[in-house]
Chain A
Amino acid sequence: MSAPQARPRVGLFVTCLVDLYRPTVGFAAIRLLEQAGCQVEVPRAQTCCGQPAYNTGDRATSRDLARGILDAFGGFDYVVVPSGSCGGMLREHLPHLFDDDPNLKARAAALAARSYELVAFLVDVRGVSVVDAAYAGTVTYHDSCAGLRELGVKDQPRRLLGSVAGLRLAEMAEPETCCGFGGTFCVKYPAISTRMVADKTRDIAASGADTLLAGDLGCLLNMAGRLKREASPVRSRHVAEVLAGMTDQVPPIGEARERG
């Protein structure tokens, strides 16, 4: 690894789900990136990475969205995403949208090469090995598919979680098996998706953990929603909230909070 750049300008790609469902993850990402010596900006002209269109086969819409992303994020040293799935879209898929346009393809390839999933960026690019956070509990970590297989996110979150005071990690069986979210898959094929997430919540429960962590909000909404329906006591959070030490500022996913 080359020496980290002094104070890189990072464009935070918030993701549509964090924007709508879990703003804390965005603020956790900003805190972690600033602690890692980055200057963080959040371009206003961002909406979605385009996966709903891309994975439905609507290439034209994903291209149109990608052009906007190139304009909004082209000037940053890095683009960081608190999601392996959206990170994978930017890093692995964006350039292929422009296979027939060398000019845009070159711009997309340059952007893709500077795009990272949040935790992988902290560890692999910024050399972060410990975080300043505490969490009293036993957590289990689900490896979201795109982060794992497209971006190689596997050890990085576990390494940083190992530095969280009071936290114990209990691995579930098959942490690398898909939870059944799959974007629009979960609403197009709900019967199959439900069986998949029920197998997953069975493994989560068997791990003995009190908290489920993952790096992707889509998977988390799916698993948390199923845990709730099963009246499970296991709580769900995005890994960034724990790493940023922000768990006291917001209750677990879906838990109502009366104060503040």
Chain B
Amino acid sequence: MIAEEPKTKNVYEREDLLTGCQAVSQGVRLADVDVIAAYPIRPYTEVMDALSKIIADGELDAEYIIADSEHSQFEIVKHASSVNARAFAGSSGTGWCYGFEALVVTATDRLPVLFLVGNRALDDPGAFGVEHNDAMAVRDMGWLLAWVTTPQEALEHVLIGYRIAEDKRVRMPMALAMDGAFLTHSQHMVKIPTAEAVRQFLPPYDLGEGRLHPDNPISIAPQVNEDWVMELRRQNWDAARRARGVIKEAYREFNAVFGERYSSPFFTEFMTDDADTVLIGLGTVCAPGRTACKRLREKGHKVGFVSLRWFRPFPTIELRESLKRFKAVGVIDRDFAHGSPDDGGIVMHEVRSALYPLKNRPAITNIITGLGGRDVSIDDCIRMYEIAQKSKTEDKLDNFVTWIGVRE
């Protein structure tokens, strides 16, 4: 849902033309982050360019460390978080993969660091453009994982992200994902909240009895072997389940401070009220998706678009309740899952799995598109709607997955 005026006055200090990365840097400033570790890789890296200047100008009091690799970068913020410092890092593509070991332990140590993932295709061969496989790699590791679609949302989800991640019922790291180039580097007008409004929404980070400090002499993550790993996995599982409720609470509170910004925490629907066919996807594909939707509506087609925001935890119940209203659902994947069931993408598998318990399921079809940063046009999206519409009546078992925008 696009912004309505906030109920509280003066929650915004100014409006600036910012890219997605710059908007995140403003969120980090407002969250009064204590430790930032940087390492360059396109396209996320612009957030670190922006933050270094913010720190150089004295607008944020934080330690800014230029690490020697992504592995070190992620370990630095993990350990800063363990001493109760609010920490920020990020990466893209294979850089994210280079630090993967550290990403795993940040989640198993239950440390609520916030990372920006500027989605980028994995090498080889080299490509700067968006593909979602990088961020998707942490989806089963105990991470919070959400995609934003505008710089305004990006700024706000730094604040929302820290609040959810640091909540003691959750304590999971947060990956804030955004499409490389299309969002990391595209400029929009962004309303920048006041420090006072942020203070109302985001409590200070308090790791309590979990912090590493001489006044709290604990041992964190000693060797446990088969004696305790399963119980710890269970705690993490429980936290991910509890996170769904904490997420809802956080958006309610956010709306209370900043006005009715978000009608639903987990996904945003567009023209779905009387729709029979919808497309669902992550990230900026919603822009051509919504325009295509409007054009088809003009011709009398009952179509709609669902922008999925939260991927971990997955909004199982909410999405199931929403999608069961439709006859056909086309799932857009800007990722690949080679050799998976039906050879579909990651998002399709999750959506289809969420819909499986329904007695009358909508027809599902899968579209793989926009890989490596390839543009997804309005016409492409019109074709996607047509494919989804046909799936209502056609037997799609033989061509369940359609690649759109690929040279055959």
A and B found bound together: no
Q: Which B residues have a C-beta under 8 Å from some C-beta of A?
A: none
